[in-house]
Amino acid sequence: MQLNKFPSYKPYGEQAILIEWQQCIDDQILEDMLRFKERIQKESTQFIVDFIVGYHSLTLQYKEPILNYKEEVEILQSIYKKDFTAIQNPRFLWEVPVCYDLQFGIDLEEMAQKSKLSIDEIKIRHSAKIYTVFFIGFLPGFLYLGGLDSDLYFDRKPTPRLKVPKGAVAIGGKQTGVYPCASPGGWNLLGKTPIHFFDVTQQQPCFATAGDQIKFIPISLDEFYQLEKEVAENKYSIPKTLVHD
């Protein structure tokens, strides 16, 4: 797609600036945002305490109230116009094992009826894609992924479940994702992963970051329980491949 020439800037309270791109989910927009964020981090971080990445927005949180908003935006615009195509942090492709057994994929039968696809076809299509991590939220470690097959778009449930299990792999609307902990949720459940998506004992609690990629690898029920044991004993490492640095 053709990007607008420049992003727009808006005050976001007294201590933040909201930078917005075109309102769509797009890998090119994500790359533009991440490169801009990396350049700001290198050149103008003494007053910024946090960077919040969205699908098409970047919010800068400042230490103190912004005294001259116009001047700060001009600084950011100048940074954006510089050549920063060579600036990139390492990006990885993570292989996430998923068991699509009906024991975990409790919505698969309903999804098959609604989509006119077989259960096996849903599993194949879901695991065939490589997904891009756009950002992390609404729960710590919840990855918002882009790239879902359009035939697998399923509306969220009208009445959310009170408790979705940790590791549940699900689809909600045009998105797929993994619940990093047990929580209420209205997404359609099609499988489960035995790995941790958020672990406070690790230096980096969530293994993936915005710009990384996720590949779901189908595993059997026996393999799921074996990997679950290895994860519990801290003997399992998520396979990863360097995409670029």
Cβ partners under 8 Å of residue 234, min gap 6: none
Integer Cα distance of 114 and 116 in angstroms: 6
Out of 81, 100, 118, pick the residue that ends a domain. 81
Q: How many structural domains does the chain have?
A: 2
> Residue 99: which of 161, 166, 169 has the closest Cα?
169
Out of 49, 81, 113, pick the residue that ends a domain. 81
- Looking at the structure, tell me whether residues 142 and 239 fall in a common domain: yes
The verdict on residue 213 lying in a domain is yes
Backbone dihedral angles phi then psi of residue 152, each to the nearest 5 degrees: -105, 15
- Looking at the structure, tell me whether residues 148 and 229 fall in a common domain: yes
The verdict on residue 44 lying in a domain is yes
Integer Cα distance of 135 and 236 in angstroms: 25
Domain around 210: 91-244
CATH number for the domain spanning 127: value is: 2.40.100.10
Per-residue pLDDT of the chain (245 residues; tens, 9 = 90+): 455 567 999 998 999 999 999 887 788 888 888 888 888 888 866 789 888 888 888 999 999 999 899 999 998 998 888 876 555 678 899 999 999 999 999 999 999 999 999 999 999 999 999 999 988 877 788 898 989 999 999 999 999 999 999 999 999 999 999 999 999 999 999 999 999 998 888 878 889 988 899 999 999 999 999 999 999 999 999 999 998 75
pTM: 0.81
The verdict on residue 1 lying in a domain is no
Predicted pLDDT at 187:
96
- Looking at the structure, tell me whether residues 128 and 71 fall in a common domain: no
- Looking at the structure, tell me whether residues 37 and 98 fall in a common domain: no
- Looking at the structure, tell me whether residues 113 and 226 fall in a common domain: yes
Give the burial class of 243: count Cβ atoms within 10 A of its Cβ; 0-12 exposed, 13-18 middle, 19 or more buried: middle
Chain-centre distance of CA 230, in angstroms?
Answer: 25
